[in-house]
Structure 1
Amino acid sequence: MRTRPLKVALLGCGVVGSEVARIMTTHADDLAQRIGAPVELAGVAVRRPSKVRDGIDPALVTTDATALVKRGDIDVVVEVIGGIEPARTLITTAFAHGASVVSANKALLAQDGAALHAAADEHGKDLYYEAAVAGAIPLIRPLRESLAGDKINRVMGIVNGTTNFILDKMDSTGAGYQEALDEATALGYAEADPTADVEAFDAAAKAAILAGIAFHTRVRLDDVYREGMTEVTAADFASAKNMGCTIKLLAICERAADGGSVTARVHPAMIPLTHPLASVRGAYNAVFVESDAAGQLMFYGPGAGGAPTASAVLGDLVAVCRNRLSGATGPGESAYAALPVSPMGDVVTRYHISLDVADKPGVLAQVATVFAEHGVSIDTVRQHGRQDGDGEASLVVVTHRASDASLSGTVEALRKLDTVRGVASIMRVEGE
């Protein structure tokens, strides 16, 4: 074993960063054996240096992250500060000064992954980011290494623990959205401002990363269709149960049937209770992968939290340090396929549409005619009158597979009917 330690700079020492530092210290001997050399925490960049950080030598703490990554003796920079800047500049500076990088920064990778990979390649360094997508779940490495010889056709999963906790609570207790969100906040699953989670910005960034790796194509955050889950109601769950389904916020990345394009999207969807993703409870994540040779694979585990995310960071750290010792680098960006990313309108799936309509004869025929005129075939229809006797009824239509553009045209036309008082909800049906 080499006795000179590999030096690690840690950018950020919050929930994840503090766990990375703790594991590096408590598992130092095991890490050294697995790597072939000791690893040494050489500096920790923070915003508040006066804060007491258990287990970290105060002499290592600095507010000058730029000076830390420019030192020249740093072998690996671990970036867990998040956001776009200063993380982007710090990472590219680290490459320029001889360090490889391990990051958990999904937002930055989804927006500027190609540029970061190019900078890593230019300087002959590694960029690893297993922790950016699904916490402790090994996912990126299996996609870009274990399945490198296969053709991946679809990646569908639950990649945000906060939203899964909320939807699971609504499903299991009948709670409304706000009530379930309040509980998630009280338990620490949701941030004080939950927008990034519940409006699906977090999941969309992860979908961009997954699609890029799975399909060897550059997919940016702007390419991902995004729809949050704040409008999901208890009535939607009741309808889902009538169909033998539940509702999940899904990230779906798929290759077109002809192989000529890809799509990436995040939105709430009904999925059958028989689908493996339907049983994912609480704040857990799971990703379902479909490929030509391997068939169907599912990756499951805790998708967030300090220790689980730190586990993924340390796994990358071990791999990068091994590469450092051998003078090699691991897999970089693979975007050779350069497939076009199709718009959401091209996506084909089934739909569940709930309408508030006038409770009188002929309404169903009018609605059915609109669907037919837009080429959307109806599978089932369920209608029932309101108990309050206000002259309205609820009409639930489940379609066969149709394009999103056709469904949008159908809904627009339905809104113009005098007999349709409102479109209560539109939900895609996946996983069948």
Structure 2
Amino acid sequence: MKQFMDIIENPARLDWPALMERNITDDREIERAVGEIVERVRCEGDAALHHYAMKFDGVRIETLELSEQECLEATENVSDSVKHAITQAARNIGKFHAAQMPKTVDVIPFPGVHCMQRTVPLQRVGLYIPGGRAPLFSTVLMLGLPAKIAGCKEIILCTPKGADGRIAPEIVYAARVCGINRIFCVGGAQAVAAMAYGTESIPRVDKIFGPGNRYVTKAKQLVSRITAIDMPAGPSEVLVMADTTARPDFVAADLLSQAEHGPDSQSILVCQTMKIAQDVAEEVYRQAVSLNRVSIVEESLEHSRIVVLPTREDMVDFANAYAAEHLIISMEKPWDIAADITAAGSVFIGNYSPESAGDYASGTNHTLPTGGWATSYSGVNYDSFVRKITYQEISREGLTELADTIITMANAEGLDAHAAAVKIRIK
């Protein structure tokens, strides 16, 4: 049997960590190179951006920001079918994220004490959209729509020009659908640095969002000391849980749809029997050889695997420990399994919920934590674009009633000025 994926049958729990390792190299040369790029952009501004556009993309940029005319011309080059698909996806994504808007919290926890929490949008956010082999116009929707719904005052977008000297027209059209009017022809680590520090053309932002390669990821980590970022992110990944009710051809298609993202992506299958494992492995090979990006898929599958675990409990424990970016549950009573999942970026329930639906059009967000960060980070959502501010108003009577509690606690912590701030008011 020809196959691309290794099968590991019933491994001991001590061996699980090795099976969960991601294909993430600790490349000090990348950190050094990105550090140099970030520092040059910080010091030289636009001049550095022009330099790196020529060095890395082979493109001479006359003006960093797309003009209104260029935007209009780009949108005219998008087919009607793609425009329709973007519009339908935007409708679903917008509806799901609008439903996340919170209510103002307004509470009187004690007579004379009034506490509130209000949601306030970030003022200026920066979105990074990769270009290259697969310009991700779907990510424009995933980031731009919740930013607009949250009420961010200014949304800017950075994306590189391709070898033809143009930005993908689908990216421009998706930006227009989201109400984004400022698009800059800048890519890579230099775009992240520009949004973090600001240049003559690109304004400094309050938070940076968006995926990218290892250089972009490292740049986001470096600038997170001075500006917020959405989350730690690395190569994309999927984990599929399958029992005898799963369709091997469906499962294989899901594993491959993730593997084609890039050679460092990872696809994991956790299943109950060797028969399922072998059937899926055969399907993966059969489907992979006909794909356009088969060479990328083969590289990705070199560090992907199939793990056979006979009990549902072991499967759930493995999934929670792996903390997948995307988790697909193709099992009997999948919602019961999902109730026990405590770490995942986004969960896909049942045989007819492919991960690609969440990538494009179901409504949920596809910007998700990778590399095990789903144990502590959420994916991008409405809350990613807002801050919560608390308020309190206390009457003299309310403070008098609380005084003993505050003074006792302040004195116990050795902070007598805190206690004095109460005492002086209730004399």
TM-score range, shorter chain: under 0.3
Query: Which has the larger share of strand?
Result: 1
What TM-score results when the alignment is normalised by the length of structure 1? Answer: 0.27
